[in-house]
Amino acid sequence: MITSRFGTVRGLVRLALSYPQMMFGLSGQRPPDPAQVRRLVFVCQGNICRSAFADVAARRAGMNSASFGLSTSSGRAAHDPAIVAAEALGHDLSAHRALDLQDYVPQEGDLLLAMEVRQLHRLAADPRLTGLPRMLLGRWTRPMMPHLHDPYSLDDRYMAQCLGRIERAVERLVSAFPGARLS
């Protein structure tokens, strides 16, 4: 049950730790003025599973979006199991190419949406990004799951579970940030 719902025991522990971090303001979030958000920018470690899928799902929902990874190689293809799981949800990840943090160009109106608290801390420490609003994508899942554990090389059931959670969170972002809709 843990592997299919949370990825690993570590994923469950990190999820449990993320709730008090959010509650006590230790998550590194910097909420935006919703009226100022013009683009949703999804962030994860490798930009080949979670953030890549969130970007594709947001674009399909008519949103202006982008994604990047904190530690990846630009141009890298999406992870094959993520492509398969995305396809089962009706999304095509086959054309996705990863973008590394160093190649990301911030724009006015960007909202950074990370998958994990530690990623928010890393974004906050980057001088180019420290002033940008940033939040956890998991705030928009129901139930709220502030830690969306990395599905890379984990159980296929967890990959599907994780991408399904991300898809539902993106659906909620559409109404939360109408200024990020494409015309």
Task: Give the DSSP per-residue string, 17-62.
Answer: HHHHHHHTT-S--B---GGG--EEEEEESSSSSHHHHHHHHHHHTT
C-alpha closest to that of 44 among 109, 113, 97: 113
* 105/45 Cα distance (integer angstroms): 17
Rounded to an integer, the average pLDDT of 6-32 is 95
Determine contact, residues 54/80, Cβ cutoff 8 Å: no
Rounded to an integer, the average pLDDT of 93-112 is 97
pLDDT at 156: 95
Q: What is the set of domains in the chain, with CATH numbers?
A: 2-180 (3.40.50.2300)
Is the pLDDT score of 1 beyond 90? no
State the helix-helix crossing angle for 9-23 and 117-125, rounded to 10 degrees.
Answer: 60
Backbone φ and ψ for 6, nearest 5 degrees, come out as: -125, 0
pLDDT at 183: 73
**Residue at 172: amino acid letter:** R
DSSP state of 138: G
Give this prediction's pTM. Answer: 0.97
Is the pLDDT score of 166 beyond 80? yes
* 25/179 Cα distance (integer angstroms): 26
The helix/strand/coil state of 114 is: strand
Is the pLDDT score of 40 beyond 90? yes
Rounded to an integer, the average pLDDT of 151-162 is 96
* 13/6 Cα distance (integer angstroms): 9
Peptide bond into 106 cis (omega under 30): no
Residues 6+ apart with CB under 8 A from 4: 155, 157, 158, 161
Residue 114 pairs with which residues in a beta bridge?
A: 43, 136
Is the pLDDT score of 154 beyond 80? yes
